[in-house]
Amino acid sequence: MNKTVRVALVALLCVGAAACSKKAEVKPQPPMEQNTQTQTQASDGKYTPADLDTDACLRQRVVYFDFDKTEIKPEFQQIMACHAKYLQDRPMSHIRLEGNTDERGTREYNLGLGERRGNAVSSALQAAGGSASQLEVISYGKEKPVCREHNEDCWGKNRRVEIVYTAQ
Amino acid sequence: MIKPMRKLSSSFALVLLAITALFVGPVSAQSLNVDIVGGVKTATPIVVVPFAQQGGAPLSTDIADVMRNDFNRSGKFRSLAKSDIVETPSKGSDIKFATWRLLKQDYITVGRVSDAGGGMTRVEYELWDVNKQQSLLAQAFTVPAGDLRGVAHQIADQIYEKITGVRGAFWTRIAYITAVGLGNNTSYSLIVADSDGFNPQVVARSKESLLSPAWSPDGRKIAYVSFESGNSNIYIQDITTGSRQLVSSHKGINGAPAWSPDGRKLALALSYVGNPEIFVLDLGSRQETRLTNSLSIDTEPTWAPDGQSIYFTSDRSGRPQIYQVPAGGGAAERVTFQGQNNLKASVSYDGKQIAMVQGNGNVYRIAILDRSLGGQVRYVSPGPIDDAVSFAPNASMLLYAATEGSRGVLYSVSNDGMVRQRLALADGNVQEPAWGPYRQR
């Protein structure tokens, strides 16, 4: 490898690292011990769109997965519950579930894996009370990584489903 | 297993880039940097003497240089470095065979270029057997002056076939995707280039991901996946006219298009039925036929050369493996058993070899399964994050995608894995390679 290439690679690695640390901010918080819903809900106990910005549970919009796994891990069950409640409280609201994978394997197979994870989150939200008509799944496979290093820490950040409200 | 033994001078890529710069047209794409690693001691030694020029303006293409590069990256030949070429005969009658015997060359190519008038150039060449002092080939081409690289590849093909008995595939094209920029500012292009990475032309651009380009058997069209509308959709685009049609836009995944050998059908992976399944779309009638039915991911179909069956990737056994199903429907049979993960089959023209991405643990490499050797698998890339592979039409070389640092690059590799040529962008990623069919002479 010539020197120019090496310099270029180092530069790219730095860019990748910056992207990683930036994205780390949206990593979900550890599950809250207390139920946070009481302090932010409207008086009738229903969520309002304002809660999407303020409620500690609703603000968590990323579900992470273990390698080659589609199961929703226990620590994300509370997130499933609050978003499902929001869907119930706001029947006109709509969520797009964006499935993503790590870089290992081919692009097309990873499209399938991302969709499988999106479907798993969709099923969990429905099981917790959300309606199928409020949910849509799209898979980006490995096309939209948030971290570009080649290690498990980075791969774990990329194996995710992002919860995107397309209608509040 | 792959020992970098030799690398062409680092100025090589820059010199070639300078040459291509002269050809930059309105739709030219960012040039690829090209260099070769590896080398085979057992490869056949051949000398390609610089072509003599008789009159006319200085040529923008060094024909002999293009041919030497072709021969070297094939792994079958080792061409004498230009700096070691001590005599420059341009006709067979001028060759002093003793000189080339002393330099241990088996074959010698000489040639000459002249102005044929009207913007045309006449290129003549001869191939001689050094030991027998016997003429093997002698031919002339009259071509537009801008097509000298094409002529060089065609001459290399003729020589390759004369000596090896296998049709050459240097005069072919490749397609790939480039991704330039980071995050939401990434722009994607579908590019078609010569087999050595030169003359890149933009076929399509998108602000969203493009993937899975697939050549029509006549080399005129490319089917590909685009996320430009938000979801994955499949388009077919005519390379020369640019005209494009949307052929699949179901809910869910529309992915992995593959042309049938007769060009009339497209195999696809569609997930609107709940999970990705293999379908065959008749391009004439628009009728869709479902081929697989499992709860797993079935994707990456590719046709056997006889068109009778389709290989595809499925994780129905728990991990992704290659399966084969009759093209008219029926039970799928598992093809690969060695390796934790096997994905994205590419089948050689004779159906005997299946190249694929094989993952073991965190290491993903390109493996070739030789069905004529009882399912034996060998690796042709070092990994660890290779993710796509495509055979040349004569199966002498393959093109695959690798990741180096955080950059996606392509490699062409000889079938024995001994010689690799890197195709990289100075700025951005190159991915999703697809080697095109033979061109019509």
| CA separation for the pair B342, B319 (Å, rounded) | 8
* Interchain CB contacts (distance < 8 Å): A and B: 102
Q: Is the pLDDT of residue A11 over 80?
A: no
Average pLDDT over residues B320-329: 97
| CA separation for the pair B170, B435 (Å, rounded) | 11
Average pLDDT over residues B358-371: 96
Residues on chain B touching A10 (C-beta within 8 angstroms): 405
Q: Which pLDDT belongs to residue B38?
A: 64
B141 pLDDT band, cuts 50/70/90, is: very high
Which spans in B54-135 are helix H? 63-74, 97-102
| CA separation for the pair B166, B324 (Å, rounded) | 28
B372 pLDDT band, cuts 50/70/90, is: confident
Determine the structural domain holding residue A136 and report its residue range: 3-167
> pTM of the entire structure?
0.87
Taking residue B205's Cβ as centre, other Cβ atoms within 10 Å add up to 15
Q: Which pLDDT belongs to residue A43?
A: 64
Q: Average model confidence (pLDDT) for chain A?
A: 82
Q: Average model confidence (pLDDT) for chain B?
A: 91
Q: Which pLDDT belongs to residue B20?
A: 33
| CA separation for the pair B93, B70 (Å, rounded) | 26
Contact predicate B353/B391, CB 8 Å: yes
A10 pLDDT band, cuts 50/70/90, is: very low
Q: Is the pLDDT of residue B421 over 70?
A: yes
Nearest to A9 among B232, B388, B404 (CB): B404
Mutation target for B interface from A111, A113, A135, A155: give the one with most B CBs within 10 A: A111
Nearest to B253 among A9, A112, A148 (CB): A112
Q: Is the pLDDT of residue A162 over 60?
A: yes
Q: Which pLDDT belongs to residue A88?
A: 97
Query: What is the tens place of the pLDDT at every residue in B243-299?
Result: 999 999 999 999 999 999 999 999 999 999 999 999 999 999 999 999 999 999 999
Q: Which domains does chain B have, with CATH numbers?
A: 40-164 (3.40.50.10070), 172-438 (2.120.10.30)
d(CA A137, nearest CA chain B) in Å: 7
User: Where residue A89 sits, what CATH number does that domain have?
Assistant: 3.30.1330.60
Residue B7: alpha-carbon gap to chain centroid = 21
Tokens representing A84 are 């499902």
Handedness of CA B324, B227, B388, B382 (dihedral sign): negative
Taking residue B15's Cβ as centre, other Cβ atoms within 10 Å add up to 12
Q: Which pLDDT belongs to residue B423?
A: 93
Q: Is the pLDDT of residue A9 over 60?
A: no
Torsion angle in degrees (nearest 10) through CA of B193, B432, B368, B391? -30
Question: Domain tally for chain A?
Answer: 1
Q: Cβ separation of A108 and B426 shorter than 8 Å?
A: no
Q: Is the pLDDT of residue A110 over 80?
A: yes
**Residue A158, phi then psi, degrees to nearest 5:** -85, -25
Q: Which pLDDT belongs to residue B182?
A: 85
Give the full edge-to-edge strand order of the sheet including B397-404. Answer: B32-38, B419-425, B407-414, B397-404, B388-391
How long a stretch of residues is chain B? 441
Residues 6 or more apart from B282 whose CB is under 8 A from it? B264, B265, B288, B289
A36 pLDDT band, cuts 50/70/90, is: very low
Q: Cβ separation of B343 and A112 shorter than 8 Å?
A: no
Q: Cβ separation of A9 and B405 shorter than 8 Å?
A: yes
Q: Rg of chain A's alpha carbons, rounded to an integer? A: 18
Q: Which pLDDT belongs to residue B55?
A: 77
How long a stretch of residues is chain A? 168
By CA distance, what is A22's nearest residue in B? Answer: B183
Q: Which pLDDT belongs to residue B441?
A: 72
Taking residue A98's Cβ as centre, other Cβ atoms within 10 Å add up to 22
| CA separation for the pair B221, B148 (Å, rounded) | 24
Residues on chain A touching B387 (C-beta within 8 angstroms): 103, 105-107
Interface confidence (ipTM) of the complex? 0.90
Mutation target for A interface from B188, B253, B389: give the one with most A CBs within 10 A: B253
Residues on chain A touching B182 (C-beta within 8 angstroms): 15, 19
Nearest to B282 by CA among B274, B291, B273: B291
